[in-house]
Amino acid sequence: MKQIEAFVDEVYHSVGGNREEIEELKSEMKNHLLEAVLELKKEGKTEQEAIEIAIERFGGEKEMRSVVGQLFQTQKVFAKRILYIALIFFALTSIVSGVLWILDEADMNENLIVAREIINSLEGQEVISENMKAGIFALVEDKSQILNLQIYKMADVERVSETGSVSYHWNEATPVYEYGVFNSSSKPNWMLIDLGYSLGSTEWYVQMESVKLFGFIPFIFNAGIAIYATLFTVWATINAYHHRRLNAGWVIAFALLNVFGYLIYILVGKKKVTA
């Protein structure tokens, strides 16, 4: 029935999207209309009357065109938003991880500078005077990453084996000076790092406990990448569904290979078109 075909073609005339999907939807609409026409003819309607009633019941050309257009537009917007959110998570994860790594490196360099200044100030001294203790305290108190600091006499912590290797056993000695901000036992190990410095000194050894920002990076990175990968897989799966090529194999490829999986999907699709 040419009138029904013309109606369906007009409904989908300006709809953009995958051509295979559109043709399949057009075929479904035609079948529904033809079934409605047959039912109406059984009720005694003429063919023309049945066609007009079926089209009217279906919604009419303008209304159906608007509904179909909005449906395809909503699908496109939804898929794009998922992709944009996935890319935002990927970018934020990379930025935050990079910033934490830079800050952690800065803290470690600052710790080294603090240790070097302390050892240099104590060089040639047998004991730590009260003025020296005040200077060390002033040097350390504004370093928020340093939680605890101990200063030992090198002779108390250094051990030389028979083979000549040197090791430091600061936990077996009594510190000459100690600075503490927090009880380290209240913090998880992944947040802390023990740092020992002798820096060529034969007299003094500095041991400090510092916050390790690097410990946050694996958690943030893994969580962010997991969210990104999940959203990207959802986006790629929606596209494959619209292209009528969705199957379990492609979903697994998107989930495991991410962008590379989608590139393979595109390449395979191009080969099928040119074949």
CA–CA distance, 178 with 133 (Å, rounded to integer): 9
Last residue of a domain, one of 201, 216, 231: 216
Rounded to two decimals, what is the model's pTM? Answer: 0.65
User: Quick one: how far is CA 172 from the chain centroid?
Assistant: 44
Last residue of one domain, picked from the residues 176, 192, 216: 216
* H-only helix segments in 123-141: 130-141
Domain region containing 139: 106-216
| Pairing mode of beta strands 166-168, 146-153 | unpaired
Same domain, 191 and 173: yes
With a cut of 70, say whether residue 58 has pLDDT above it: no
Token pair listed for 170: 């600061």
Alpha-carbon span 102 to 100, nearest angstrom: 5
| 251: CB partners within 8 A, 6+ apart | 233, 237, 240
Asked if the structure places residue 265 within a domain, the reply is: yes
Cα–Cα distance between 243 and 18 in angstroms, integer?
A: 6
What pLDDT does residue 45 have? 78
Let me know whether 43 and 18 are in one domain. yes
Q: Which pLDDT does position 16 carry in this prediction?
A: 58
Q: Are residues 110 and 196 in the same domain?
A: yes
**pLDDT tens by residue, 104-147:** 999 999 999 999 999 999 988 889 999 999 999 999 988 888 88
Q: Which residue has the tokens 């209309």?
A: 33
Do 207 and 182 lie in a common domain?
Answer: yes
d(CA 160, CA 17): 76
pLDDT of residue 234: 93
Do 112 and 189 reside in the same domain of the chain? Answer: yes
Q: Is residue 152 part of a domain?
A: yes
Do 193 and 117 sit in the same domain of this protein?
yes
Q: Rounded mean pLDDT of the chain?
A: 81
Q: Per-residue confidence at 171, pLDDT binned at 50, 70, 90?
A: confident
pLDDT at 275: 55
In a domain, 162, yes or no: yes
Lowest mean pLDDT among 3-7, 178-182, 215-219: 3-7
Residue 114 domain-assigned?
A: yes
Higher pLDDT, 238 or 137: 137
Q: Which two tokens stand for residue 179?
A: 């600075």
pLDDT beyond 60 at 273? no
Domain annotation covers residue 70: no
Helix (H, G, I), strand (E, B) or coil at 41: helix
Q: What is the pLDDT of residue 135?
A: 93
Same domain, 11 and 85: no
Residues 148 and 223 placed together within one structural domain of the fold: no
What's the CA gap between 263 and 90, in Å, rounded? 18
Q: Is 155 found in the same domain as 55?
A: no
Domain count, the chain: 3
pLDDT in tens, 15-53: 656 666 667 767 777 777 778 777 877 878 777 877 777
Closest residue by Cα to residue 225 from 258, 199, 253? 258
State the Cα–Cα distance between residues 114 and 146, nearest whole angstrom: 10
Q: What is the pLDDT at residue 111?
A: 92
- Please report whether residue 67 resides in a domain: no
Under DSSP, the state recorded for 32 is: H
pLDDT computed for residue 212 by the predictor: 86
Helix (H) or strand (E) holding 198: none
More confidently predicted of 58 and 77 = 77
3 pLDDT band (50/70/90 cuts)?
Answer: confident
- List strand residue ranges (DSSP E) for the chain, in order: 146-153, 158-160, 166-168, 177-180, 192-197, 204-211
The first and second tokens of residue 128, run together, are 């730590």
The predicted pLDDT at position 63 comes to 57
